[in-house]
Amino acid sequence: MSTPCWPDTLPRCIRPDAPFNEQPVAQRVSFPSDIGPPIERAKSSIRVRSIDVSWLMTPDQVRFLEDFVFDTLGQATSEFLFLHPRTLTMVRARFEGDPPYRSERIMRGKFSVAATLMVIG
């Protein structure tokens, strides 16, 4: 099965007036040693980052996002291809947290939709 892409019917650009946060996710495991401080090792060689994003959407786009997350992504359990807002390259991502996104009506016909995405690679 191929990795689904962020749908063309949803905004590609994040809200310029909303904060954009990006931080690395620790990929280490720590275990005690016989003598001295605990030993730390990398769990993986894959780079993982967490990003907080927000989009401006219409009611129809929010409904389409709901269908994408529930049906295509198996209730936010699958990865998808997404245009990274800082690097402008396609990356693999997955919704983090429960709920996977939050929507808030900010004016008639406009919703602010925020999510935390785990960017893989």
Angle value at C-alpha 77, between 87 and 97, nearest 5 degrees = 75
**CB 80, CB 93: distance < 8 Å:** yes
Tell me what pLDDT residue 28 has. Answer: 74
pTM: 0.81
Integer-rounded Cα Rg, in Å, for the chain is 17
Domain ranges of the chain: 21-120
72-89 pLDDT, tens digit per residue, is: 999 999 999 999 999 999
**88-113 confidence digits (pLDDT tens):** 999 999 999 999 999 999 999 999 99
pLDDT at 115 over 70: yes
Look at 53 and 121; give whichever has higher pLDDT. 53
pLDDT exceeding 90 applies to what percent of the chain?
Answer: 68
Label the pairing between strands 28-31 and 39-42: antiparallel
pLDDT tens track for 42-63 = 777 788 999 999 999 999 999 9
Q: State the first-to-last Cα distance of the chain, in angstroms, to the nearest integer.
A: 19
Percent of the chain past pLDDT 70, that is, above it, reads 99
